[in-house]
Amino acid sequence: MPTEFISVTFANASNELHPIHKAPVDPDFLIRYSRSLDDYGFNYTLIPYNSSSFDPFTLGATIAAVTKNIKIIIALRPNTLYPTVAAKALATLDQLSRGRAVVHFIAGGNDAEQAREGDFLGKEERYERLEEYIKILKRAWSSTDPFDWEGKHYTFKNFSNNVRPVNGTIPVSVGGSSDAAYRIGGSLADIFGLWGEPLKETKEQIDRIYAEAAKVGRPREEYPRIWVTFRPIGNLYIPH
């Protein structure tokens, strides 16, 4: 399996090590940064999300317009967008980018952060909602006929989707370190995101994800790919 490289997208020169308070989108910086990632062979760029961040779909469409190869990962919290709308929005971006869209789901691990956008579900319910959300998206991308849905968190009637992903579906990424995250990622995700941790603990997490994939009968070649995220530690940074 080849090694792939991922970067985060910065919409301006502000970053974790050198923050610029309330900096607006810098279009020139965003275009230059995105093209640099593309030119230097990065495979993916993640557009992160929090309650005070820029809209990832707008940034994603901009990146798609100025690059040729890099895949665009949209970070998405289920509480922020109804799943039928998200299915069309992601498929639209996928068509604009000629098949380069990816979605990374954030169930929401921080109650205070979730409450800022009106989400008051507990952690267990947020993962239940995430599982239902992913199933709806996959159905919306694959179904050729209108369909109804009646679940715990979503109900709709006769939904018909004419906006299809270029390759029939869009890769789904999930992360987390709870039993629910491993179960949902192992059973439904194409990609599972881990933090950079000691090898022993990382292997244990991968084994748990793969065990969940095996439980639902996924063939070995369809087990989730593993992405590992590393980031700078601010208090150890020494400027040159």
CB burial string 187-219: b at 16+ within 10 A, e below: bbbbbbbbeeeeeeeeeebbebbbebbeeeebe
**136-194: per-residue pLDDT in tens?**
999 999 999 999 999 999 999 999 999 999 999 999 999 999 999 999 999 999 999 99
Domain boundaries, the chain: 6-170
* Cα–Cα distance measured from residue 19 to residue 37, given in angstroms and rounded to the nearest whole number: 21
* Cα–Cα distance measured from residue 72 to residue 19, given in angstroms and rounded to the nearest whole number: 23
Amino acid identity of residue 3, one-letter, is: T
Neighbours of 47 (CB within 10 A): 24
Stated pTM of the model: 0.93
**18-62: per-residue pLDDT in tens?**
889 899 999 999 999 999 999 999 999 999 999 999 999 999 999
| Residue recorded with tokens 């179904």 | 143
Distance of CA 214 to the CA centre of its chain: 23
Class in CATH terms, 6-170: alpha beta
